A and B are shown apart, each in its own frame.
Chain A
Amino acid sequence: MPIELKQVSFTYAPGTVFETIALQEVSFSVEDGEYIGFMGKTGCGKSTLLQLMVGLMQPTRGQILVDGRDINGRGYNRGELRKKVGMVFQYPEIQLFETTVEKDVAFGLKHSGLSSSEIADNVRWAIETVGLDFEKTRSVSPFSLSGGEKRRVAIAGILAAKPKILILDEPIAGLDPMGRDAFLDLTRKLNADGTTIIMVSHNADALAENAHRVIVLEAGRLALDRNVKDAFKDVALIEKLGVGVSQARVIANLLSKCGFHAEPDIIRYAELQPLLLSTAKGGRL
Chain B
Amino acid sequence: MNRLPIGIYIPGDTFIHRLDSRIKLLGLFITTAAILLVNSILGYSIMFAFILGIILLSGISMKTALNAINKLLLFFVIVLLMNTFFYSPEKPWFSFWIFTPSTLGLLYGIEIVLRLFLVLIASNILTSTTTPMETTHALESLISPFRYLGLPTGQIAMILSIAIQFIPTLSEETDAIRKTQMARGARFDSKKISEKAAAVLPMVVPIFLSAFKRADDLSVAMEARGYRGAKGRTQKKGTPLQRQDLGALGVIFFICLLQIVLRFSNLTHPWRSRF
Q: Which residues of A contact B (CB under 8 A)?
A: 12-14, 16-18, 51, 54, 56, 78-79, 82-83, 86-87, 89, 92, 94-97, 107-112, 143, 157-158, 161
Across the two chains, which residue of chain B brings its CB closest to A18?
Answer: B4
Establish whether residues B4 and A95, one from each chain, have CB atoms under 8 Å apart when the complex forms. no
User: Which chain B residues border A96 with CB–CB below 8 Å?
Assistant: 206
* 10 sampled A-B residue pairs with Cβ under 8 A: A12-B1, A56-B183, A82-B182, A94-B180, A97-B201, A97-B205, A108-B184, A110-B185, A112-B185, A158-B184
B181 contacts the other chain (Cβ, under 8 Å)?
yes
User: Which chain A residues border B229 with CB–CB below 8 Å?
Assistant: none
User: Which chain A residues border B189 with CB–CB below 8 Å?
Assistant: 78
B239 contacts the other chain (Cβ, under 8 Å)?
no
A51–B173 Cα distance when bound, in Å, is 15
User: Which chain B residues border A107 with CB–CB below 8 Å?
Assistant: 184-186, 202
Question: A97 and B185 in contact (CB under 8 A), knowing A16-B4, A92-B180?
Answer: no
A167–B11 Cα distance when bound, in Å, is 36
How many whole Å from A98's CB to the nearest CB in chain B? 8
B158 contacts the other chain (Cβ, under 8 Å)?
no
Question: A89 and B180 in contact (CB under 8 A), knowing A17-B11, A18-B4, A107-B185?
Answer: yes
Establish whether residues A94 and B206, one from each chain, have CB atoms under 8 Å apart when the complex forms. yes
Question: A56 and B179 in contact (CB under 8 A), knowing A107-B184, A158-B184?
Answer: yes
User: Which chain B residues border A79 with CB–CB below 8 Å?
Assistant: 185
A158–B179 Cα distance when bound, in Å, is 13
How many whole Å from B168's CB to the nearest CB in chain A? 13
- B193-218 contacts to A, CB under 8 A, are 201-202, 205-206, 209-210
Across the two chains, which residue of chain B brings its CB closest to A50?
Answer: B183
Closest 9 CB pairs of A and B: A108-B184, A97-B205, A108-B185, A87-B183, A95-B180, A89-B180, A97-B202, A16-B4, A56-B179
B-side binding surface: helix, strand, loop or mixed? helix
Sorting the interface of chain B by its residue count into under 10, 10 to 19, 20 to 34 or 35 or more gives 20 to 34
A86–B1 Cα distance when bound, in Å, is 23
B10 contacts the other chain (Cβ, under 8 Å)?
yes
How many whole Å from B258's CB to the nearest CB in chain A? 34
Across the two chains, which residue of chain A brings its CB closest to B2?
Answer: A13
Establish whether residues A95 and B185, one from each chain, have CB atoms under 8 Å apart when the complex forms. no
Establish whether residues B210 and A95, one from each chain, have CB atoms under 8 Å apart when the complex forms. no
How many whole Å from A212's CB to the nearest CB in chain B? 24
B177 contacts the other chain (Cβ, under 8 Å)?
yes
Establish whether residues A111 and B210, one from each chain, have CB atoms under 8 Å apart when the complex forms. no
Establish whether residues A13 and B4, one from each chain, have CB atoms under 8 Å apart when the complex forms. yes
A151–B55 Cα distance when bound, in Å, is 50
Across the two chains, which residue of chain B brings its CB closest to A83?
Answer: B185
A130–B173 Cα distance when bound, in Å, is 26
Establish whether residues B184 and A86, one from each chain, have CB atoms under 8 Å apart when the complex forms. yes
B187 contacts the other chain (Cβ, under 8 Å)?
yes
B241 contacts the other chain (Cβ, under 8 Å)?
no
A206–B202 Cα distance when bound, in Å, is 32
A76–B153 Cα distance when bound, in Å, is 56
- Of the candidates A16, A18, A78, A157, the one whose C-beta lies within 8 Å of that of B184 is A157
B176 contacts the other chain (Cβ, under 8 Å)?
yes
How many whole Å from A170's CB to the nearest CB in chain B? 13
User: Which chain B residues border A95 with CB–CB below 8 Å?
Assistant: 177, 180-181, 184, 202, 206
How many whole Å from B199's CB to the nearest CB in chain A? 10
Establish whether residues A94 and B184, one from each chain, have CB atoms under 8 Å apart when the complex forms. no
User: Which chain B residues border A16 with CB–CB below 8 Å?
Assistant: 4
How many whole Å from B212's CB to the nearest CB in chain A? 11
Interface centre among B11, B189, B202 (most CB of A within 10 A): B202
Establish whether residues A111 and B187, one from each chain, have CB atoms under 8 Å apart when the complex forms. yes
Establish whether residues A56 and B176, one from each chain, have CB atoms under 8 Å apart when the complex forms. no
User: Which chain A residues border B1 with CB–CB below 8 Å?
Assistant: 12-13, 18
Across the two chains, which residue of chain A brings its CB closest to B187?
Answer: A111
A94–B3 Cα distance when bound, in Å, is 25
Establish whether residues A94 and B179, one from each chain, have CB atoms under 8 Å apart when the complex forms. no
User: Which chain B residues border A87 with CB–CB below 8 Å?
Assistant: 180, 183-184
Establish whether residues B176 and A14, one from each chain, have CB atoms under 8 Å apart when the complex forms. no
User: Which chain A residues border B205 with CB–CB below 8 Å?
Assistant: 97
User: Which chain B residues border A82 with CB–CB below 8 Å?
Assistant: 182-185
- Of the candidates A18, A56, A143, the one whose C-beta lies within 8 Å of that of B182 is A56
